[in-house]
Amino acid sequence: MSDTATRNKRNRRAGQRWQTVLRDGLRDAGLDIERLALAGVEDEGDHVVRLPAGLPGRRFVVIEAKAGVLHPAQFVREAQLEAGNFAYHRGLPASTVTGIAVAKRRGANWRDAYVLTTVGDYFGLYPIGAAA
Q: What confidence tens digit (pLDDT) does each residue in 103-129 have?
A: 999 999 999 999 999 998 888 786 555
Could you give the CA distance from residue 83 to residue 77 in angstroms, rounded to a whole number? 10
The CA R_g of the chain, rounded to the nearest whole Å, is 15
Could you give the CA distance from residue 46 to residue 39 in angstroms, rounded to a whole number? 10
Q: What confidence tens digit (pLDDT) does each residue in 25-53 have?
A: 999 999 999 999 887 778 999 999 999 87
What are the domain boundaries of the chain?
3-122
Checking if the pLDDT of 22 tops 90, the result is: yes
Q: What confidence tens digit (pLDDT) does each residue in 86-102 have?
A: 999 999 998 899 999 99
How much is the pTM? 0.86
CATH code of the region 3-122: 3.40.1350.10
Three-state secondary structure of the chain: CCHHHHHHHHHHHHHHHHHHHHHHHHHHCCCEEEECCCCHHHCCCCEEEECCCCCCCCCEEEEEEECCCCCHHHHHHHHHHHHHHHHHHHCCCHHHEEEEEEECCCCCCHHHCEEECCHHHHCCCCCCCCCC
